[in-house]
Structure 1
Amino acid sequence: MTVTDEQVAAPAVEPVPLRRNWRFQTLWAGSASSMLGTCVADTAYPLLLLAMTGSPTLAGAFGACQFGASVLFGLHGGVVADRYDRRRVLILADSVRLLTALSVAVALLLHRLTVPHTLLAAAVIGATMAYGAPSRMLALRAVVPPEQLRQALSQDELRVNGAALAGPPLAGLLLGLGRAVPFLTTVLTSALALGASVAVRFDSPARDGAATPRKEKGAAFAGLRHLFRSPVLRATVLVVVALNVAGSAMLLAVMVLLRDGGTSEVGTGLVLTGEAVGGLLGALFVSRLHGRLAPGALLLAVGWIAALMFALPAFAGGPVVVFAALTVMSLGVPALRVMLDVLVFQRVPEEMRGRAVAGTMTLLMGGLPIGSMTAGLLLDHLAADTVLLLLATALAAALLPATLGRGLRGTSWNS
């Protein structure tokens, strides 16, 4: 009796359902904890500085220091993620973040917290984000099989938008219980993130000798160069950056629009949650949108809907309309971010992904102050509804060449 190849071949192994993948769920919980702590800190620190000094300038300096450090070290964070063991990088970044949060909480409890200490903490937190975020993002993706990648990325979008929605009100609530309470909370969230990083092992290219050569010329920009050589990746990155720039400008414009219309500060804060609400809802439809739309079509659809939503409040600027516009505008953003992640995994070599992710994150963060500054300059001379129409027109003009051309519209997920 002859044994055939089919008889000795091992049966195909079904992947473990994502809900039972303990490595992914543990890393995801740690990542969600880290994100929630960041969103709480982003609100609590400025409010604390405002209460300590009465200076809006110093209150704003926290975000400037944190953001500046993230951008300054962003590209190098990608090099580190590709050169060294990502798990060790993540553990080190989470440990530094935990110690920083603990130092602030202890100083507050001892009534010894100073402004320089707080601003130094902001810079350190920003640096840990620059070095930890690429490794954390790649870790989440390293522990799931390729066929579950979209499902895993969709769950990750729930983390991002859920933290953005819950963080600011939670920070205000905790501050009401005592000045040190939000910062003790960030200690707890940092400890949970560190625990997840320690508990889960995942593959890292540095272990297999595929690390970035230490003297590679222009290593920090290699990921960006690879992204921009691909027409689809280049168009996706540029459109997402344009949406970030225009979106941050739109938020400032609608704040002014609502203020001029008599909406209270509390009401304005509630209206602005429309962005996070849209993101949460959109995360539930990522797989469906990816199944029905090719990358180019999805990119253009999200871009044009955003352009229309930018213009809508200019014609009817009440709180309900602005909330609806922000929600609708944000519905497609999770699908777009997941699309960028999927394309990076399909088209960027493993040994370069840390730099590609870090470069993309740096570009996205760099667009935020540009948008806010541009909107501020325009709002000094023009009415808010006029600024919104200008933003919609600028975004439409940026989308028009890609819409009329055939290259982007003809792309597929596997091309």
Structure 2
Amino acid sequence: MKLPHFLSPGMRTYTAVWFGQMVSLIGTALTDFGVGVWIYQKTGSATPFAMILLCTVVPGILVSPVAGALADRWDRRRTMVLADAGAALSTLFMAVLLFAGQLELWHILLAVSVASTCRAFQGPAWLASTAQLVPREHLGRASGMMNFARGLAGIAAPALGGVLVTTIGLGRVMLIDFATFGVAVATLFAVRFPPVPRRAEAEGAKRGVLQDAADGWRYVGSQPALRAHLLFFALVNLGLGYVWVLHAPLVLGFAGARSLGIVGSAMGGGMLAGSLAMTLWGGPKRKVAAILGYGVLLGVCLMVMGALPWVPLVAAGIFGITLGIPVMNGSLMALWMPRIPQEVQGRTYAVLQVLVWSTEPIAYLTAGVLADRVFKPLLVPGGPLAGSLGAVMGTGPTRGLGLLLGTVGVFVLSATAWAALLPHFRTADSIPPVVKPAASAAAPAPDDAPAGEPAPVPA
């Protein structure tokens, strides 16, 4: 039976930390919602939102290589504590300035950049620790739990944030967020992570952090299957970036704010449903097939979203997109965590972050230009495609957005077909694991344990 493995000490530790992180995610989502309202009320412009999105991603990309190397050197639990504390202080910084009547956009951009940097440290430390804590057969379930937390935060933030911002004010919402970081830190102090396994020769060598960071790139470069999977995920993330940027103007262009709320609920509901399914199910056995299947689902749903100016169609498309994200993430996690040596997992996950996140700014920077200057003129009345494609998709100011999303969908389907043809990509399931399953060890490793093998989760 797998139930005793699911209740193993490592899984209990993971669940405790997951709960603290979930509470913190909800608090952060409340602040993000409130800050969005505050910025729009103050500026009435969409440009600050794009600036915030860039500050959410770019600093993390820049520091991830060093952050991953340090996550392999430092105690990973303490690294997570420091990262949560840094993000908490950035929220407190905004709250203090808001109460003093001094908060400006550049303060928010600075705080968001600090939080992005902190996430760059926390992500590799948490992911690398997960492989030590969670039994191999439950890695997909663990990923589902984290995506469930994100989905819950995505649903709770608009519902609670709208009430709290209008009743107690944005400053007090930020203080609530600050308190939720305290919950996350408290759960980390209450648990212990197993020690990071290291090779004896690596421990004795005097190496710089940049050398360690370069090891992550060298390791990825030496693994053709991992390289192919990371490139595919970067292309998928590019497609998702266009969804996050374009779905709101697409809906608002032919419907109202209430319809956008319906689409937003479908987005959060899809993530929540997919995450719950992964948590209970644990994920498919054929991980590569699931990853490729999500590429097909994403491409089709993008085309569905852009096909017609009809809210149920857009909601169905975005529900399908977010429904599959937890399955895709869980499959990637379950596939590669056991196949990356523990002593380089932090820096390797940092490389993953850099490669996957690097495509998001491309979408953020190009979506508006492509929509307004390239695709919009094609499907306005009298445009070049109004008499042909416009007869099917309709014409109007938002039909160019629909065409752009459909084009991105075709791109994603093409990338999926390309990945499916790569032998290294297709056969990744057959690569032997190099990390012992956490559930197989119940006692401390003997003194003569082979160097480089992961220490078991302590009872």
- Tell me the TM-score range normalised by the shorter chain: 0.7 to 0.9
| Amino acid in the other structure paired with 1:181 | R
CA contact (8 A) 2:10 2:133 kept: no
Q: Which of the numbers 302, 317, 322 marks the counterpart of 2:314?
A: 322
Q: Which of the numbers 243, 253, 265 marks the counterpart of 1:250?
A: 243
- Comparing 50-59 with 388-397, which one deviates more in the overlay? 50-59
Distance 2:137 2:293 in 1: 25
- Comparing 106-115 with 373-382, which one deviates more in the overlay? 106-115
Q: 2:403: which partner in 1?
A: 386
CA contact (8 A) 1:224 1:360 kept: no
Distance 1:231 1:148 in 2: 26
CA contact (8 A) 1:227 1:234 kept: yes
The secondary structure found in structure 2 opposite 1:308 is helix
CA contact (8 A) 2:141 2:282 kept: no
1:15 to 1:252, Cα distance in 2 relative to 1, 3 A: closer
User: Any idea what the Cα deviations from partners look like across 1:248-294, whole Å, max 9, x if unmatched?
Assistant: 21343443432332x113322430342332222222333758445x2
Following TM superposition, by how much is the alpha carbon of 1:333 offset from its aligned partner in structure 2, in angstroms? 1.9
Q: Which of the numbers 219, 222, 231 marks the counterpart of 1:226?
A: 219
Following TM superposition, by how much is the alpha carbon of 1:53 offset from its aligned partner in structure 2, in angstroms? 5.5
Q: 1:189: which partner in 2?
A: 180
Q: Which of the numbers 155, 158, 161 marks the counterpart of 1:165?
A: 155
Q: 1:44: which partner in 2?
A: 34
CA contact (8 A) 1:18 1:148 kept: no
- Comparing 215-224 with 231-240, which one deviates more in the overlay? 215-224
Question: If the length of structure 2 is used for normalisation, what is the TM-score?
Answer: 0.78
| Amino acid in the other structure paired with 2:419 | A
The secondary structure found in structure 2 opposite 1:249 is helix
1:148 to 1:223, Cα distance in 2 relative to 1, 3 A: same
1:170-181 to 2 correspondences below 5 Å: 170-177=160-167, 178-181=169-172
| CA RMSD after TM alignment | 3.0
Distance 2:10 2:95 in 1: 36
Residue 15 (str. 1) matches residue 1 (str. 2): no
Q: 1:7: which partner in 2?
A: none
1:359-374 to 2 correspondences below 5 Å: 359-374=351-366
CA contact (8 A) 2:10 2:134 kept: no
CA contact (8 A) 2:128 2:342 kept: no
1:277 to 1:237, Cα distance in 2 relative to 1, 3 A: farther
Unaligned ranges ≥5, structure 1? 1-12
Question: If the length of structure 1 is used for normalisation, what is the TM-score?
Answer: 0.85
Q: 1:238: which partner in 2?
A: 231
Distance 1:363 1:348 in 2: 17
CA contact (8 A) 1:279 1:334 kept: yes
Q: Which of the numbers 75, 78, 97 marks the counterpart of 2:65?
A: 75
Residue 331 (str. 1) matches residue 323 (str. 2): yes
CA contact (8 A) 1:18 1:24 kept: no
Following TM superposition, by how much is the alpha carbon of 1:322 offset from its aligned partner in structure 2, in angstroms? 0.8
1:15-414 to 2 correspondences below 5 Å: 15=5, 17=7, 21-52=11-42, 56-58=46-48, 60-177=50-167, 178-205=169-196, 214-215=207-208, 218-261=211-254, 263-286=255-278, 288=281, 290-292=283-285, 294-380=286-372, 381-382=374-375, 383-412=400-429
Unaligned ranges ≥5, structure 2? 376-399, 433-459
| Amino acid in the other structure paired with 1:343 | L
User: Any idea what the Cα deviations from partners look like across 1:24-45, whole Å, max 9, x if unmatched?
Assistant: 2220111112322332233322
| Amino acid in the other structure paired with 2:171 | A
- Comparing 198-207 with 352-361, which one deviates more in the overlay? 198-207
- Comparing 129-138 with 59-68, which one deviates more in the overlay? 59-68
User: Any idea what the Cα deviations from partners look like across 1:206-233, whole Å, max 9, x if unmatched?
Assistant: 7887669532664324324423533432
- The alignment of Structure 1 onto Structure 2 pairs a total of residues equal to 401
User: Any idea what the Cα deviations from partners look like across 1:61-116, whole Å, max 9, x if unmatched?
Assistant: 44433433222212221111011111222222222222332233233334344444
- Comparing 92-101 with 109-118, which one deviates more in the overlay? 109-118
Identity across the alignment (%): 26
| Amino acid in the other structure paired with 2:155 | L
The secondary structure found in structure 2 opposite 1:412 is helix
Q: 2:455: which partner in 1?
A: none
